[in-house]
Structure 1
Amino acid sequence: MLGDRVLRAEGVRGVGTLWAGLLGPVEARRGGVALPLGSAGRQAVFAILAMGAGQVVTRTRLVDGLWERPPASAARIIQTYIGDLRRVFEPDRVRWTSGHLLRTTESGYVLDLSDDDVDVRVLDRLYARARTASADLAVVDEALALWRGEPLSGVPGPFAEGQRTRLTETRLALVEQRARLLVDADRAGDAAAELTVLTTRYPERESLRLVLMTALAASGRPARAIEVFHEGGRTGDDLRALHERLLVGTQPARVHSGYVGRTAEVAALRAATARPAGLVWVEGAAGMGKSALLREVLEGAPVAWCAVSERTGEVAEAQPADLVVVDDAHWAGENAIRRCLRWLAEGVPLVVATRPRADLAVLREHATRVITLGPLADADIATIADAVVRESGGSPGFATALVAAAGNVEQVAKAKIGSLPGVLVERLRRVALLGVDPTRAEVLATAPGVEWLADALAADVLRASGDHVRFAQRSVQRILVEGLPRAVRVVLHRELAKDLAAAAAPADLVAAHLLDGVAPMHGWASDWLADNVDALTPDLAVRLLRHAVDQDSLSAHARTAFTAALVGLLLAGDPPPPS
């Protein structure tokens, strides 16, 4: 697939343009034809020139890049390599003249290639985009598709060795980013499957294990995530914190999707995929909700999701799964159609979703079940309209998106959250845990900094009303909270309790977070409770005191005092039911 992409790209640029490939065996291609670079030394010189394409690469840099201890003849060897490369790149060049593609300057050499002509330059550009908060899976997949093997494979010298290290680190970082995006897209099972092999290969890489543990926990396998914690080497603060979270909680129930209508179609797809076999064909015009139907029925199931690329017409190879789902098949090219036919021939159950397209008949004729999506019933449209009024919070943009998503509130809320910078989302998660109508002081105590709050207000995620702050759409707040694993919420509640206590927030608010966080009642928490027990409402005081005296870590002095206070409260009135 990558080779095809290279050929297509070179066809666009013209047969005279050189393409440099370093993400695998070093290659130079013109018009899709590989040029003979020759010895490993020549490949090393070409790699250094290509990495610095368009800029002067000094002779000293070339020598240092090829040898730890340069031989006395280093300059002459470099000059020979340059001459050999010129004969390969420009065979019609007049001898003893500087070439047009590989030019000589006073201080070194310039290889005149654009950034698009060097795969590492393309990678660096995509990697920069992938690291932004707005990056999507397509960007990361495009970057990962550039790899053809070990970077600069077989090329000697300090430069090649350093670049292999850097580029391998870049690839691992992209794989980790892809896994995070899969988890955010509720495809944690896919993320875990892809990371398992890599963590075995790189057991000392903490960040890789951290993402794998997160993916396993999010896919409902916290016990396996805990095993991964014990299988590796070093355990840093982040790994230990996640391990603690996993030990104290389980994953939350999934938020209701808000999916509207299509009762018969939902039932038909569920029945057809309960025991996967053959090909289920889901067909409908643009905007009829094919993808939404697939998510409603199959999200969270052990399936491999494969969307066809609108740009390339290709479909990725599926991960092992009970069922392969191919969405947007109306973009499929010949290769994608052949791959689907091959899967069917191999006995792989398929669900294909597509707009009607005549030349897909060769695939459609194999369908064991066809589900056609027509217009929604008037009653379902009315339900969508009610959701728009109820959930939009008066935002025209949110209302429009709800209409486009057929009333799928979760989809629109997640899209709004996904459009925000990651740093802002982390602060908003803390605010979401504060409840419906926190004060500005409480918000800033738990997420300091007025700049982010101004950004959240400007983006109409939060709205200010007097001294209070609330979410513009309750669904955004709900998904920010319920989208967190239970174990992560526990830790965040503990942090919020400490921040609120330091800001002298109302005692009942601090106590509620201590209880939600199943907080250890020693240190600052014990001191705070001793100072504030009389300020708590009786029921909340009883719950928190019971929580405290049940803990082995409580000091003897504090246990005696808290037990006395608890007995006093219980004797003062009817005891509340056990929590």
Structure 2
Amino acid sequence: MAAEAGRGGVGLWAGLLGPVEARRGGAVLPLGSAGRQAVFAVLALGAGQVVSRDRLVDGLWERPPASAARIIQTYVGDLRRVLEPDRARWTSGRLLRTTDAGYVLDLPDDGVDVRVLDRLRTRSDLDGVDAALALWRGEPLSGVSGPFAEGQRVRLAETRLSLVETRMRLLVDAGRAEDAAAELAVLTEEHPERDSLRALLMTALAAGGRPAQAIEVFHRGRAGPDLLALHERILTGTQPGRVDNGFVGRRAEVAALRAVAARPGGLVLVEGVAGAGKSALLRAALADTDVTWYQPGLPEPRSGLVVVDGPDPAVSGWGVSLVVAARPGHALRARATRVITLGPLGDSDVAALTTALGAPDLAAVAVRESGGSPGFATALVDAGGDTEQVARATTAALAPDLLEPLRRVALLGEYGPRAQVVAAHPGDQWLGAAVAAGVLCESGDHVGFAQPSLRRALLAGLPRAVRVVLHRELAKDLAAAGAPPDRVAHHLLDGAATIHGWASDWIAGNVDAMSPGLAVRLLRYAVGQDALPQPARTGLTAALVRLLLTGEPASAEQGANGK
């Protein structure tokens, strides 16, 4: 395995799927304190890319101390001495480099166990899933605290459990239902709240000729709609087999829609962002069922189950059973008796989709770039793997009133706190529209681009002069929203802003909270402006001189206010 080779090879290897480790030539390197381990983990997960100081600060502390930037610098210096002991003092590191925007840890893809995991997750075979599960050495990032470590532990725990579920499905599909049932019996005891595991155990037991035991599993706890439908199919012997029309994934949703077709009633809303595969799901699940497919312009149906692929305003007054596909936020949601929400596809399903489309060689790039969107993955196959072409076509099709706020968000980075994203453009209706369009996605209190290439496409079409103006406006909006000082400072510099009024006052009050190197750059820029009022120039110059002489932050607020 690549991970094993990296762990015992001559290069640096980073392990996060257990206690945080750095190894070279099989020897464990002494990373030191939990804080240093946390910095190393953030850098390793972003290996080969610039990790901003803001991201490191946000990853280590929920409420950063005033000295957070200096502590980060100290941790990075300590890590350099461990990772590159032969590096001459005062020389730039080759493995852990400093840039104007942050730090870069240069590691190959097989030098980080989580990167190896991401690659193995693109495989849809049992050997690939088993190899991915073998990477775990214990609780991810154990012993490390802070928002980054806690968030990664939750994410990776869910990843592992999803891989286990995939393994169980593969065992059942391979005719090894008894093996799956034995493992699932233990897993359902460990995770009694996870209905998907109970459903898999019921499926495995029924497939192994033990329907009575499957029914017993059903009665162990409360049952949601999907478990109820599975229970009914097992009782009646009508549980559907695999869909054999090329459709990939969404097994629970397929089963749910078939149960609706067998017993229609009310309004079932199939909800998903653009590209989530709503139409494909309807065709796969309901192709051979007794339903009426409504098209605009046809007479109003009077009976049976009616399927509407794309909401029609007229359906709200119909007195028939309905299955309607719509984007999030549609008014029909308030009337729905059941909502089936389509989230992103899992990595193994994206890989299986590209294989079904005849492009198994594009599985890895589709998993990495699609964000779990079957629509994006399909377009990527059609484009021969040209991610930028798909991204350009996607952004070109966006509503014009979405382009300006999305370009502002693109200047913020790939993801950020929701409050800062909202501050980037007036109002918040555009955010809901961008999420429904599948361009942005929300996770907790953060918002990011559903596919990284969409951000690149938005920025590529932005003239330099317009970008400078937007940076200036973002600096002011983010400062008003209380964004981290380093982030505001970068936008002031990138926007070549005139430093007077609010900007000089803000710099004076936030010098101490900036990274020292960035503070020096911004102060030099500010005091070099002819338009800067003399009282502000005096205070900012004093702060600059002190930083240059001592390297210690110094408040410029008193001088800037002329006191």
Q: TM-score, normalised to structure 2's length?
A: 0.44
Q: TM-score, normalised to structure 1's length?
A: 0.43
Please say which structure displays the higher CA radius of gyration.
1
